């Protein structure tokens, strides 16, 4: 019986041996993935995978999802349809409403470049007029009105406004026009220079270089809602 048990264990060790495939993820990378998923509650596997690529860490997105800390609640809303036939030199614009702490309504105007999803301009006012909107449009940007009640024709700006609400405004109480303008300008800097995008192959609108050497440090953004990772 003893030789049979020894043979049985040896047989299953042979059956369970590695036969190639993906290399295992080192423990320090697993730990970093867990820490990033805890620190960035609003980021999913694609966003964290993009940050790892910018840190020179080549790991699959499925592995990132595997080692992230599991969260309760429904997954983030996704977008599957884009208007790929837009030219790169077209800018999209839209308006959105933000209530202040005193329930006063402020109006934000967003202008974004379609090519690399870069935010070009934010405007804030309590009294939007045609003259005010005209003054916000910079020289060289030509407006191309969409059809009434056709938000799909302005999908890029609609998606960006959704991201601004989910990743920023839904977690901040706005005190007034000046405060909202400061928050939106801060988000514009984060969006353009830090945040990675699926449609840009996990790069930022203002392209980020891949950093492969050095110690990984992070800087909280918006009080810890998001984090910027870099090597020194």
95 pLDDT above the threshold of 80: yes
Could you report the per-residue pLDDT of 147-169, keeping only the tens digit for each? 555 555 567 788 889 999 999 99
Spell 69-101 as b/e; 16+ CB within 10 A means b. eeeeeeeeeeeeeeeeebeeeebbbbebebebe
Residue with the bigger pLDDT between 87 and 81: it is 87
pLDDT category of residue 16 using cuts at 50, 70 and 90: confident
Q: Is 196 in contact with 203 (CB distance < 8 Å)? A: yes
**pTM attached to this predicted model:** 0.59
Lowest mean pLDDT among 49-53, 107-111, 133-137: 133-137
End-to-end CA distance of the chain: 60
119 pLDDT above the threshold of 80: yes
Residue with the bigger pLDDT between 77 and 38: it is 38
Q: Rounded to an integer, what distance in angstroms lies between the CA atom of residue 124 and that of residue 174?
A: 12
Exposed/middle/buried for 27, CB within 10 Å: 0-12, 13-18, 19+? exposed
3-state secondary structure of 137: coil
Question: What pLDDT score does 77 carry?
Answer: 40
Partner residues linked to 93 by β-bridges: 111
Q: Is 199 in contact with 117 (CB distance < 8 Å)? A: yes
Question: What pLDDT score does 81 carry?
Answer: 39
Question: What pLDDT score does 53 carry?
Answer: 92
Residue with the bigger pLDDT between 100 and 12: it is 100
42 pLDDT above the threshold of 80: yes
Could you report the per-residue pLDDT of 172-193, keeping only the tens digit for each? 888 899 899 999 999 999 999 9
Q: Rounded to an integer, what distance in angstroms lies between the CA atom of residue 172 and that of residue 167?
A: 10
- Dihedral in degrees, nearest 10, Cα atoms 86, 161, 48, 114: 20
């Amino acid at each position: 019986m003893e030789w049979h048990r020894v043979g049985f264990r040896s047989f299953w060790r042979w059956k369970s041996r590695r036969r190639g495939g993906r290399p295992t993820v080192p423990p320090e990378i697993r730990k970093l993935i867990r820490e990033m998923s805890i620190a960035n509650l609003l980021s999913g596997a694609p966003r964290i995978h993009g940050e790892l690529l910018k840190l020179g860490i080549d790991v699959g997105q499925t592995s990132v999802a595997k080692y992230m800390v599991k969260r309760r609640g429904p997954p983030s809303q996704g977008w599957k349809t884009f208007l790929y036939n837009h030219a790169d030199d077209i800018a999209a614009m839209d308006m959105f409403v933000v209530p202040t702490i005193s329930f006063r309504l402020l109006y934000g105007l967003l202008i974004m470049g379609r090519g690399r999803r870069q935010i070009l301009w934010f405007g804030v006012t309590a009294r939007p007029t045609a003259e005010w909107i005209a003054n916000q449009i910079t020289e060289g940007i030509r407006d191309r009105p969409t059809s009434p009640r056709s938000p799909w024709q302005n999908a890029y700006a609609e998606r960006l406004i959704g991201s601004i609400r989910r990743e920023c405004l839904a977690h901040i109480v706005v005190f007034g026009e000046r405060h909202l303008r400061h928050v939106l300008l801060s988000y514009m800097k984060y969006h353009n220079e830090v945040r990675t995008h699926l449609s840009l192959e996990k790069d930022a609108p203002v392209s980020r270089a891949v950093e492969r050497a050095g110690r990984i440090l992070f800087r909280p953004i918006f009080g810890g809602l998001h984090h910027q990772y870099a090597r020194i």
